[in-house]
């Protein structure tokens, strides 16, 4: 029979804490010893001493590293730490983590499942399929951006700033028909479904020119609104 592991949940985020607790209870070899707020008093170090595995939210781990680094290092040195994090927290955690850490990536609290939890408990990096698709898709699209022509990258930045084709033509010097063609090319090359998705991608990845509105200082016309789909404009 496999040895039972004493498991501690450490998170002040109640959604994450109870999702971890619920899924951990489904693992037959895991014995729950409690849920704590690791940022309160000396609870973290005292309860870590009784655990074999600590399930820890990334924001709490980062807080411990920044505010109680000695305690974090000593308390986690003898346990398996499973860090629950988002893709945006990945670099912050990976650059400072210890060798005995497992990682469980999530988009939302409901992404925590017993299967992913068990893998992370063994020291692996575990993540839901939807998040993997998003991360890989985003990375590949950024590689594609590097291969776009300067004209295509310029139009992409204008799309991210919510400019219409007519306005892009005015600020770029391109013919409006050419702008429409480039918008279609960029959307196709990035494997996105419509103009709004392209705009979201450009904005999320810093591909939009900072402060760009497409309006001159003397332009008295109302601010432009974001298009909501390809049916308005190609």
* CATH classification of the domain holding 174: 1.10.10.10
Token digits for 176?
């409006």
Please tell me whether residues 103 and 156 are part of one structural domain: no
Residues 66 and 113 in one domain: yes
Look at residue 230 and tell me whether its pLDDT is greater than 90. no
Q: Are residues 115 and 17 in the same domain?
A: yes
In this structure, what are the phi and psi dihedrals at residue 8, rounded to the nearest 5 degrees? -115, 135
Are 11 and 116 contained in the same domain? yes
Same-domain pairing of 154 and 117: no
| 155 and 107 within one domain | no
Q: What is the mean pLDDT of the chain?
A: 81
At 215 the pLDDT is 37
Residue at a domain's end among 127, 161, 182: 127
Tokens of 135: 């991360």
CATH number at residue 17: 3.40.50.2300
Write out pLDDT tens, residues 67-105.
Answer: 999 999 899 888 888 988 887 787 788 878 766 788 887
Same structural domain, 62 and 146? no
Higher-confidence residue of 230 and 146: namely 146
Residue-level pLDDT at 159: 94
Choose the weakest-confidence range: 118-132, 193-207, 216-230: 216-230
- Beta-sheet strand order (sheet of 101-105): 30-36, 5-10, 53-57, 80-85, 101-105, 125-126
Residue found by looking up tokens 């501690």 in the block: 8
- The whole-angstrom separation of Cα 105 and Cα 116 is 9
**pLDDT > 90: percent of the chain:** 35
Domain range enclosing 221 = 129-234
- Give the mean model confidence (pLDDT) for residues 194-214: 77
Residues 99 and 20 in one domain: yes
pLDDT at 219 over 50: no
Cα 231 to the center of its chain, rounded Å: 30
- So what's the pLDDT on residue 111? 59
Count of domains forming the chain: 2
**Residues 140, 67 share a domain:** no
pLDDT score of 232 more than 50 = no
CA distance 78 to 135: 32
Q: Are residues 115 and 179 in the same domain?
A: no
100 and 119 assigned to the same domain: yes
pLDDT tens, position by position, 119-136: 888 877 776 666 666 666
How far is 73 from 53, CA to CA, in rounded Å? 15
Counting every residue written for the chain, the total comes to 234
Q: Are residues 170 and 231 in the same domain?
A: yes
């Amino acid at each position: 029979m496999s040895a039972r592991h004493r498991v501690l949940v450490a998170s002040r985020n109640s959604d994450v804490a109870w999702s971890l607790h619920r899924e951990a209870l489904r693992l037959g070899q895991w014995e729950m010893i409690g849920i704590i707020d690791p940022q309160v008093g000396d609870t973290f170090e005292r309860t870590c001493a009784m655990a074999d595995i600590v399930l820890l939210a990334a924001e709490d781990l980062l807080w411990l590293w920044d505010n109680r680094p000695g305690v974090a290092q000593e308390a986690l040195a003898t346990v398996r730490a499973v860090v629950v994090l988002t893709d945006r927290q990945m670099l912050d955690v990976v650059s400072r983590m210890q060798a005995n850490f497992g990682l469980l990536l999530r988009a939302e609290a409901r992404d925590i499942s017993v299967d992913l939890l068990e893998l992370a408990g063994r020291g692996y990096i575990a993540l839901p399929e939807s998040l993997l698709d998003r991360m890989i898709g985003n990375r590949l699209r950024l590689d594609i951006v590097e291969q776009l022509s300067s004209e295509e990258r310029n139009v992409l930045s204008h799309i991210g700033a919510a400019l219409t084709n007519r306005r892009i033509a005015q600020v770029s010097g391109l013919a409006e028909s050419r702008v429409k063609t480039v918008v279609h090319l960029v959307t196709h090359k990035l494997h996105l479904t419509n103009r709004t998705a392209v705009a979201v991608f450009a904005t999320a990845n810093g591909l939009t020119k900072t402060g760009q509105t497409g309006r001159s200082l003397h332009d008295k016309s109302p601010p432009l609104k974001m298009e909501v789909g390809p049916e308005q404009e190609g």
